[in-house]
Chains A and B, each alone.
Chain A
Amino acid sequence: MKRLLKSAAAIAVLALGTQFAYAGPEMVSGPGANPECFAPWSGETKFMKWNAKPGPYRIAVVNGFVGNTWRIQMIKTAKAFAEDPAIKDKIKEFKVVSTGTDAPAQLGAIEDFINQGFDAIVTIAVSPDGFDRVIRLADKNDVVIVPFDNVLDTDKVMQVNEDQLEMGRKWASFVLDELKASGKTSGKLLEVRGLPGNSVDRDRSVGIHEVLDKSGGTWDVVQVVGNWDDGTAQKVTADAIAVHGQFDGFLVQGGTTGVVQAMMDAKHPMVPIAGESENGFRKLVAQHSGEGLKGISIGQSPGLVAIAMKAAVSALEGNVMPQLISVPLPVATYDELKDGTNYWSDLPDNFFTVNEFPPCGVNVSGPAIMSQSEADVK
């Protein structure tokens, strides 16, 4: 007990010391390291610099929700990338945990890894807010936290994402252009949204509506919630078609394979559609684009985790990094689809097609990940 108290007192003194010596990244001016890979989000993006630490590093991935293909593919990519020769020597220890959609558990896991002395923590936030405490602790302990995919509403950490607003804009512009080409400048659209309360869902929808509002046409948009899930999206689309009859175009955030399936089941005419990067959606577009299913497929890649890990290592090495890193949108339209290149007719429908980012040296190809057994990836 006495020893416990003594060590506790020592920690209290230590805490007192660090209270005043506030560490964390320094705000500097750009440009950052390796700009082809770590592109700053915009002209106003700030740059950060951590004190260089000697490698190799201990890195943890703290995932939230697990249980859909995207997340499983993301975890497999993370493990495969940690073994990649480009980065293997720089990583001493690599851990992945999933906490479920539970904010205290995710915050706890991050704090635990900080306590364990990990150097960087890559995470998909379960909520865009609420991380103030762990960010403060990470800064005190010189730990780099890198949220990606579902990022935080803060500019105090380095984050990695694709521009969701731009994705929404591209989807809407494509569908409007296709409709314009067939002589329609107004009509009825179905928007299939993602998980409610999520920043990705919000931003994509905002981008879509920005373009629709600016187009000048009168668009009657019916919104349904598909949770980025094939089954849910198929059901809500079938319901919407049953209620509203016919739509002129579809704007789908995710679960696109299910949406096309619902269209075909209801004998809905083939119309322009914008959707995610599911293999099944690309297969269907490749098959039916001649009948009018002109599609654009833009993906949020599970490979973002690899870029986030790479960014974390780069920050630990003391490089200047943009606070918000923009990963280019992987776009494929119906006329660009090619079997074996950007979709795979022999892989499952719910597989996500975009995984590689050549400018970043992230070359873990999706099919390679999926065809490997669990044991092989380890």
Chain B
Amino acid sequence: MTLAPLARWLRQNRGFAGALLLFAAIYLVYNLMHPRGFSAAVFVQNSNEAVALAFVAMAQTVPVLLGGLDLSVGAVMTLTNCIASELVSGSPAQILFGMVATLLAGTAFGLMNGLVVVYGRIQPIIATLATGAIAMGLALWIRPKPGGEVDGDLNWALTNTIWDFADTYGFDADSPWLAPFADLPVPILILLAIAVLVWVPFRRSVTGRTVYAVGSAEGAAYMSGLPIARAKIAAFTLGGFFAACGGLYLAIQTSSGNADIQQAGAYTLNSIAAVVLGGTSLLGGAGGAIGSLVGALILRVISFYFRILSIDPLLQPLIEGLVLLVAVSFGAIRTLRVRNKLDLFR
């Protein structure tokens, strides 16, 4: 590859490249400072902690690309978490059915969001505020008290390294062809697999590109004859699917479900922060779900530092907020250098 396409890619994905660089830098330093840095145990722990948030951040990205906000992502994650805690146990067939049903439920909820926004003609932020409350209500109805059953083997296999995964399900864990991958954490692979298999094809489809077009200039997209209604419905449906992935993973990780209202709210807000950190514009039209995934990782790594540094516990939220503000401000540095303010709206 010559440098020209790379330079063009960089110009077009400045936010994402910046996020990737920031993540690489702070994660490297974290590992250098950690007494067991660069070990499989640390990678496994880190990725376990990040997966649910990364999925919810990806879920938030799609509506944000349209120029809207989805306030129901945290609630849909909680709802699917509660559904999974009821269904994901028993025989392998039952477990598989439970996982599929959980993902379908979240996807259906996203579809409902999309229908309400498109045919109800309600602003996404208000529509999803209401549907989010509905999701929370359903979650509390399914699981009034925290608890539930999720298959123990599944929990152990999916929250560890490939080696443990193979070992749990009776494959030959020490076979030589597995060795190069043996220490990779399963959760991060699930995350990457979903991102590559679902998000990348979507982004390349007409519907996906229409989502970007709507976010940039809805009027122009309409005049160009793009399928706007379909794109909006698809965007929210995909958001529901990603949120359901987060909820399902959370259920497997904790072997239980918990209709925690505060947790749902925290995830919704953090998802917006992750989307911005990942280089997606809140005005819509620019960015992507992979960026948000990296944004979620950055958000998590910032809090990792509190465990290896001695910082006054009551000052930690303040410092976390300041670091976040600085990180987000990097994305805005561009505004200082533009010659014409109109450039900002490109």
Contact = CB atoms under 8 A, between A and B. Distances in A.
State yes or no: do A and B come from one complex. yes
Interface of A: 4-5, 7-9, 11-12, 15, 19, 60-61, 63, 65-66, 72, 75-76, 79, 95-105, 107-109, 111-113, 115-117, 126-133, 136, 153, 196-197, 202, 374, 378
In the A-B complex, the 10 residue pairs with the closest CB atoms: A130-B254, A108-B49, A129-B256, A96-B313, A8-B183, A101-B262, A111-B45, A130-B256, A127-B258, A101-B263
Interface string B124-159: 000000000000000010001111100010011001
B182 A374 contact: no
A208 to B, nearest CB: 17
Interface string B243-266: 000000010011110111111001
Given A12-B40, A104-B250, 13 more contacts: A12-B182, A15-B164, A66-B314, A79-B313, A96-B313, A104-B253, A108-B48, A111-B49, A112-B42, A112-B45, A115-B35, A117-B35, A197-B146
A11 B163 CA distance: 11
Contacts of B180: 5
A61 B316 CA distance: 14
Contacts of A378: 312
B34 interface: yes
Contacts of A113: 307
Residue in A97, A130, A133 with the greatest tally of chain B CB atoms within 10 Å: A130
B52 interface: yes
Given A11-B41, A130-B254, A197-B145, A109 B307 contact: yes
B316 A97 contact: yes
Nearest to B313: A96
Nearest to A8: B183
Residue in A75, A96, A104 with the greatest tally of chain B CB atoms within 10 Å: A104
Contact of A107 (B156, B254, B267): B254
A374 B146 contact: no
Interface in B17-48: 34-36, 38-42, 45-46, 48
A113 B310 CA distance: 13
B202 interface: no
A127 B256 contact: yes
B260 A197 contact: yes
12 contacts: A8-B40, A75-B313, A97-B313, A101-B263, A104-B52, A107-B49, A111-B45, A127-B256, A127-B258, A129-B148, A130-B256, A196-B261
A104 B48 contact: yes
A128 B163 contact: no
A103 B258 contact: yes
Contacts of B38: 4, 7
B322 interface: no
A376 to B, nearest CB: 12
Contacts of A374: 312, 314
Contacts of B200: none
A108 B254 contact: no
Contacts of B258: 103, 127, 129-130, 197
Contacts of B92: none
Contacts of B267: 102
Contact of A128 (B34, B146, B255, B308): B146
A99 B254 contact: no
A79 B34 CA distance: 23
A27 B27 CA distance: 41
Contacts of A116: 34-36, 307-308
B183 A115 contact: no
B45 A102 contact: no
B193 interface: no
B84 to A, nearest CB: 12
A161 to B, nearest CB: 17
A115 B312 contact: no
Given A98-B317, A104-B48, A108-B45, A126 B263 contact: yes
Nearest to B45: A111
Nearest to B35: A116
A378 B140 CA distance: 41
